[in-house]
Structure 1
Amino acid sequence: MTDLDPPLRRYLGDLVTAARDVLGDDLVGAYAAGSVGLGAYQPGRSDVDVALVSAEALDLTRKQELVARLRHEALPCPARGLELVVYRWKIARSGTPEAGFEVELNTGARMPFRATWAAADRPAEDGLFWYGLDRSILHQCGYALLGPPAAETFADLFPADLRRLLTDSLRWWLALPTPPGDGPAPGAEDAVLGACRSLVKVRHGVWLSKVDAGRRLIADGWPGDPTAGAERRVHGEPGDLIERSIAARAGGPPPGGPEARAFQRAVLNEISG
C-alpha cells in the first residue's frame, strides 16, 4: 500500500487487522474500491469504500461485533467516512446484480451512521443498484488489502444486468430533489460526472474515475462522434458542462440543477435506448 495517502494507508491496515480479529479464518479478502481502487482518492473529499469477503454467512453476533470494531468512534476514519460492505465469497464470485450483502456500515465524522444487517433490510428507495455496480468496479480495479487479486474474487456483471443497474442508478439520481432556480446546485457536479462514468462504461467497457470519465467524454464528442471538432467538443454543450463539473471538484462553482438533469437524461436515453 505504499502508493496510498499515509493516513489512509495506516487506517486501512488497522481496519484489516480489526476485521481479521472478528472474522478469523473466515476473512477471505479485503479490498478498497471506489476512489481508492480507481486511483482518484482526494483527502478531505473522498469516502473510503471497502469490501470484505467472508467464506460463509455471518451470524448477527459477528455482524454486530464487526460494526462495533469498525465504526468511526472505535476506529477513526481519516476520510469523510467509511462505506463498508461484507459479501460472502459465493456472492462475490456469482456476478449477480442483486445486492446480496451480509452487512453494510456507513460511518465517519461527516457521514451519518448506518448499519444494515442484511440485504433484505435495505429500503428499495435508497437504491439496490449500488452493490452490483461496486462489485463490477472491484472486478476491474479493486485494491487488494488482503487475499487474492480482486479480479479473482469478484465476477463482473453480464452486459444486460450492467445496463439495467446503470439505468436504475440514473433514474434514482434524477428523482432526488434539487434547489429551485437555475443557480449553482451543490452536488450537481457529482451527478454529472457520475453519469459520465456510467456512459464511459457502456461505450468503452471500462470503469474510470468521475473526472477521467468526464475527460474521456469530452474527447469522444457528443454523442460519441470522434470526428467532432475540438471547439465544439470542449466549449459546446455538454462539453462545457463537463468542464465546469470537473472544475467544481477543485473548488469552483457547481453547475445548475436543470442543466445537470438535462445531461443525466441524455445519458439515460443513450444507455437505456
Structure 2
Amino acid sequence: MHPTVRRYLDDLVDAARDVLGDDLVGAYAAGSVALDAYQPGRSDVDVALVVADRLDVARRRELVARLRHEALPCPARGLELVVYTRAVARSGTAEPGFEVELNSGARMPFRATLDPADRPAADGRFWYGLDRSILHQTGYALLGPPAVEVFADLGPDDLRRLLVEALRWWLALPAPGAPEPTASVQAVPGPAAPEPSAPGRSLPRSVASGPAEPGPAAPGPAGNGSEADRPAGDPPLPGAEDAVLGACRSLVRLRDGVWLSKVAAGRRIAATGAYPELIARCVAARSGGTPPGGAQARDFQRWVLRQVLDLS
C-alpha cells in the first residue's frame, strides 16, 4: 500500500473510532487501494466502515464533519466513504442500505448523504450492492474481521441486474467522461466545502434524461478498436478510458466470477481477442497516453451490455 495512503487510512480509522467508539465493528479499504492498483494523482481512496447498529443523525453528522477533506485532508483525488450496519453488510441485499455516504476531496465534488431515501433515483441505486460484492471478494481490513466474513456477496440474479443497471446508467450520460452536474447534498457541520475543480468520476451521479438502450451492434470483437476504426469527428475524450475499462470489470465479474482492477480486467478481455487495440489505448491513457474517442467508448459499452444480457 502507498505509504501516504496508509498513514491517511490510519488517521481515518482513529477519527472514526473517536466518533463511534465500540460501535465501530470494522474499517475496510476497497477499490484501487485494496486491489494494489492505486495511482497517485488519479485514484480515489474508497473506504467502508461497518457499525454495530443504526446511527442517530447527530453521530452521522459528526462522522462527516471529522472525515471530510477539510478536517482530514485526503492525499488522493478524494475520499469515497460509505458506512453500513453489520446487518446490512451481511445481508447480500441489492438495496443501498447505507448509514452515511461521504465524498470529499481536493478534486472531488463534495457530497454527504445521511439516508438512502434522500438519494435521487436518477443518481443510481446500484452502486452499493456492487460495492459490497467487491468488498466481499477484495476488501482490505484496516480494522476488524476479514472482509469476506463481514460482507456477503450478491446472488447471481441481483448481480446481473445491478450490472445491467450500471451499464445503462453510464450509457445515459451525455458522453463517457462527461462532467456530471453537482447534486444537492445534506447540510453537515464544519467548514464549507470548496467548489469542485474537476467532475466526479462516480459521484455526484446525475444522469441525462431517459435510459439508454443497447443501440446498434458494435463491430465483431476480433481485431477492432484500432486507431483506424475511430470515426471521423471522434476526438480523444479524457475519461473515455475509464468508461471502457470499467465496462471490462463488469463483464469479467459476470463471466469469470472475479472482481479485478480496471487495468487487469481490460487486459483479460483483450486476451480473448475483443477490442485489443482499444483496450491497450485505454490502459496507456491511465499513464498519460491519448484516450480513445467517445464514440469508440460508447460502441464498446454497448457491446459489453449485449454480452452481459446474453449471459443469462
Same fold (TM over 0.5): yes
Per the alignment, residue 250 of structure 1 pairs with 287
Distance 1:38 1:9 in 2: 14
Q: Which one-letter code corresponds to 2:248 in the other structure?
A: C
Partner of residue 167, structure 1: 164
Q: Distance in 2 between matches of 1:181 and 1:17?
A: 51
Instruction: Select 1:134's aligned residue among 131, 135, 138.
Output: 131
Query: Aligned-residue CA RMSD in angstroms?
Result: 1.1
Match of 2:252 in 1: 200
Structure 1: where are the runs of 5+ without partners? 223-237
Shift in Å, 1:185: 1.0
Aligned AA for 1:76? P
In structure 2, distance between residues paired with 1:205 and 1:58: 34
2: CA distance, partners of 1:184 / 1:256: 4
Distance 1:169 1:80 in 2: 22
Q: Distance in 2 between matches of 1:198 and 1:185?
A: 21
> 1:18-64: per-residue Cα shift (whole Å, max 9, x none)?
00000011100000001111111111110000000000001100000
CA distance in 1, matches of 2:27, 2:243: 28
Determine the C-alpha separation between the residues in 2 that align with 1:42 and 1:24.
Answer: 32
Give the match for residue 264 of structure 1. Answer: 301
The equivalent of 1:231 in structure 2 is none
Tell me the equivalent position of 1:95.
Answer: 92
Q: Distance in 1 between matches of 2:233 and 2:286?
A: 21
Correspondence for 1:235: none
Rounded Cα–Cα distance in structure 2 between residues aligned with 1:142 and 1:271: 24
Deviations 1:170-194 (A, max 9, x none): 0011111127941111100000000
**What letter matches 1:265 in structure 2?**
R
Q: What's the offset of the Cα at 1:76? A: 0.3
- Whether 1:53 aligns to 2:50 is yes
Task: Give the letter aligned to residue 213 of structure 1.
Answer: A
Among 56, 59, 64, the alignment partner of 1:62 is 59
CA distance in 2, matches of 1:127, 1:247: 29
Deviation at 1:270, TM superposition (A): 1.0
> Is 2:217 the counterpart of 1:217?
no
What's the CA shift for 1:125? 1.1
Distance across 2 between alignment mates of 1:170 and 1:38: 22
Query: As a proportion of its length, which structure holds more helix?
Result: 1
Task: Provide the C-alpha distance between the structure 1 equivalents of 2:256 and 2:307, rounded to a whole number of angstroms.
Answer: 13
Counterpart pick for 1:158 among 138, 144, 155: 155
The answer to whether residue 113 in structure 2 is matched with residue 113 in structure 1 is no
Per-residue deviation, residues 124-154 of structure 1 (Å, max 9, x unmatched)? 1111111111100000010000000000000
Alpha-carbon deviation of 1:221? 2.5
Q: Which AA in structure 1 matches 2:288?
A: G
Give identity over the alignment, percent.
Answer: 75
How many pairs were matched up? Answer: 255
How far apart are 1:202 and its partner, in Å? 1.0
Moved over 6 A (4+): none
From 229, 241, 244, the counterpart of 1:189 = 241
